[in-house]
């Protein structure tokens, strides 16, 4: 009986140790992603070495390869994950909305918050998308098109006269406005910037959407 108890205790300890190792591995991986996001945004993907990433994350160079086989895969992880996040959370906002107008307001607020919070990732997307492997670039593009279509469906449900081309053009213009935040609003008051951007984004959809919004 006592031997079985000892075995069970030892087994429980092994599980705890494995869990701890798994948690530490996940933390180290996130440290590398955070370091990569900061350095890629500041210097550009090609100017950052594995040694730079290791030093920024506080690990040895070889330790980087225990988490990512290459610097290119680290870049892919950053851009694919943020694209998935935009699609998943944007879709969730629309699903929770009480109306198409509410959905549009929620999407604008969500993307504005993203632009203010994840400035480094926007810079990386702008500067280093071309450094992705072909398959990874296709994945990012597919996810981002799907996110765009979430907006298109909402906008066209509000303004049924807008063609898909017109809706996409307006939405891409709004993305350009909001995604310019990393370059123009780094040192401004965040709350003021958020309010101004949300107002400008709504106005950018044009008089037809705003007129419909105020009349319903």
Query: Among 37-51, 52-66, 141-155, 202-216, whose mean pLDDT is lowest?
Result: 202-216
Mean pLDDT within 50-74: 90
What per-residue confidence (pLDDT) applies to 58? 87
Residues 16 and 13: their CA atoms lie apart, in Å, by: 5
pLDDT at 6 over 80: no
Contact (CB, 8 A) for 154 and 104 = yes
What per-residue confidence (pLDDT) applies to 182? 64
Q: Which tens digit of pLDDT belongs to each residue from 152-208?
A: 999 999 999 999 999 999 999 999 999 987 666 555 678 888 999 999 999 998 765
CATH topology of domain 1-68: Arc Repressor Mutant, subunit A (1.10.10)
DSSP string, 183-204: HH-TTS-HHHHHHHHHHHHHHH
Query: Among 14-23, 36-45, 101-110, 161-170, whose mean pLDDT is lowest?
Result: 14-23
Contact (CB, 8 A) for 122 and 179 = yes
Q: How far lies 118's CA from each of 50, 79, 129, 163, in Å?
A: 23, 11, 16, 31
Query: How sure is the predictor about 111, in pLDDT bands with cuts at 50, 70 and 90?
Result: very high
What per-residue confidence (pLDDT) applies to 49? 94
Residues 116 and 191: their CA atoms lie apart, in Å, by: 10
pLDDT at 8 over 80: no
Mean pLDDT within 144-153: 98
Q: Per-domain residue ranges for the chain? A: 1-68, 72-216
Q: What average pLDDT does the structure give for the chain?
A: 88
pLDDT at 2 over 60: no
Alpha helices in the chain (DSSP H): 2-43, 50-57, 61-64, 71-96, 100-117, 119-128, 134-158, 164-179, 181-184, 190-204, 207-215
What per-residue confidence (pLDDT) applies to 10? 62
Tokens encoding 10: 């030892």
Q: How far lies 177's CA from each of 151, 154, 182, in Å?
A: 15, 19, 11
CATH 3.40.47.10 assigned to domain 72-216? The reply is: no
């Amino acid at each position: 009986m006592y031997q079985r108890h000892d075995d069970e205790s030892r087994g429980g300890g092994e599980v705890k140790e494995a869990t701890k190792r798994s948690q530490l591995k996940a933390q180290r991986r996130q440290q590398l992603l955070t370091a990569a996001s900061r350095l890629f945004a500041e210097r550009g993907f090609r100017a950052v070495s594995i040694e730079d990433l290791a030093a920024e994350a506080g690990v040895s160079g070889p330790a980087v390869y225990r988490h990512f086989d290459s610097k290119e895969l680290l870049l892919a992880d950053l851009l694919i994950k943020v694209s998935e996040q935009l699609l998943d959370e944007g879709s969730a906002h629309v699903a929770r909305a009480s109306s198409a107008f509410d959905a549009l307001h929620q999407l604008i607020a969500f993307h504005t918050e993203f632009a203010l919070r994840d400035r480094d990732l926007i810079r990386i997307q702008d500067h280093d998308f071309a450094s992705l492997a072909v398959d990874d670039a296709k994945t990012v593009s597919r996810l981002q098109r799907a996110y765009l279509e979430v907006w298109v469906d909402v906008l066209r449900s509000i303004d049924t006269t807008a063609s898909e081309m017109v809706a996409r053009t307006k939405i891409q213009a709004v993305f350009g406005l909001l995604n310019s935040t990393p370059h123009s609003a780094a040192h401004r008051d965040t709350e003021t910037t958020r309010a101004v951007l949300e107002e400008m984004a709504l106005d950018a959809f044009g008089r037809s959407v705003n007129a419909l919004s105020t009349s319903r």
